[in-house]
């Protein structure tokens, strides 16, 4: 089985790395290690450039996906896929790249920064909604996190009110102003099983996150009824340019 070492678990702010190509499948380049985060948990996959060392040859990858690995079952933790290859999906011709080539993988840090902001912010939003609706986390039916926004759908009977949105917005702004830290911790039985921890609240999550809430910026939160019993909450954060200084 080809397994890609996920360097973003060691340092989520690494923007590039040297790697070796271990497999090529159709339009996907698979490397022995990568800084590119694959799509998962509602979070968009990274984009960027793969360059063959000392040749001047490069190709853009427009998505990053997980390949097949091992299905992990842990008590009180969602089922996840670990020990898998990471596929850098390319739209252009990759015939110049061969197994064994030494290459550099470099991600688009502007996209990663936006996704990271909105993933962290969505967790805080859910955490604050839970204060008045203790079971709302269990009612999540889907989410999507991009560089420009995030949304989450809840299967609930009682609509989220404008007053709740206003309260959550004020509380979120307060947490940003207090610069509350965010910690990512690995499960004791599996390093790829991760927890997001903020203000003494923890969620299972292996996505990319900020080190503290000051990087979030100013939130704009909206709600929408999708169908009977299905509520969508959307959030956008003004970009905090300071986040780009975190990437190396």
Encode pLDDT of 178-210 as tens digits.
999 999 999 999 999 999 999 999 999 999 999
Asked whether residue 10 carries a pLDDT value surpassing 70, the answer given is yes
- For tokens 């996190």, name the residue: 145
Cα diameter, the chain: 60
Asked whether residue 240 carries a pLDDT value surpassing 80, the answer given is no
Q: Report the DSSP pairing between strands 28-31 and 140-145.
A: unpaired
At 185, give phi and psi (nearest 5°).
-125, 140
Q: What is the pLDDT of residue 1?
A: 63
86 closest CA partner among 98, 104, 69, 106: 69
Contact (CB, 8 A) for 81 and 71: yes
More confident residue, 196 or 159: 196
Which ranges constitute the DSSP H helices of the chain? 109-129, 162-177
Contact (CB, 8 A) for 131 and 45: no
> How large a percentage of the chain has pLDDT more than 90?
83
- CA dist 45 and 145 (Å) reads 10
Using a cut of 0.75, tell me whether the model's pTM lies above it. yes
Q: What is the pLDDT of residue 226?
A: 77
């Amino acid at each position: 089985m080809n397994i890609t070492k996920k360097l973003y678990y060691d340092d989520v702010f690494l923007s590039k790395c040297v790697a070796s190509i271990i497999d090529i499948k159709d339009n996907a380049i698979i490397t022995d290690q990568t800084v590119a985060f694959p799509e998962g948990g509602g979070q968009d996959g990274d984009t960027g450039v793969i360059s063959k060392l000392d040749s001047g040859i490069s190709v853009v990858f427009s998505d990053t996906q997980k390949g097949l690995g091992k299905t992990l079952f842990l008590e009180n933790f969602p089922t996840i896929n670990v020990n898998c290859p990471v596929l850098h999906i390319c739209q252009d011709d990759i015939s110049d790249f061969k197994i064994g080539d030494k290459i550099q993988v470099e991600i688009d840090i502007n996209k990663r920064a936006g996704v990271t902001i909105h993933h962290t912010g969505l967790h805080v939003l859910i955490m604050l909604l839970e204060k008045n609706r203790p079971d709302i986390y269990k009612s999540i039916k889907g989410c999507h996190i991009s560089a420009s926004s995030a949304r989450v759908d809840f299967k609930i009977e009682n609509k989220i009110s404008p007053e709740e949105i206003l309260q959550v917005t004020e509380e979120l702004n307060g947490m940003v102003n207090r610069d509350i830290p965010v910690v990512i911790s690995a499960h004791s039985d599996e390093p790829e099983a991760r927890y997001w921890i903020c203000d003494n609240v923890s969620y299972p999550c292996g996505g990319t996150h900020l080190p503290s809430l000051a990087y979030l910026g100013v939130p704009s939160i909206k709600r929408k009824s999708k169908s009977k019993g299905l509520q969508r909450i959307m959030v956008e954060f003004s970009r905090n340019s300071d986040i780009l200084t975190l990437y190396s």
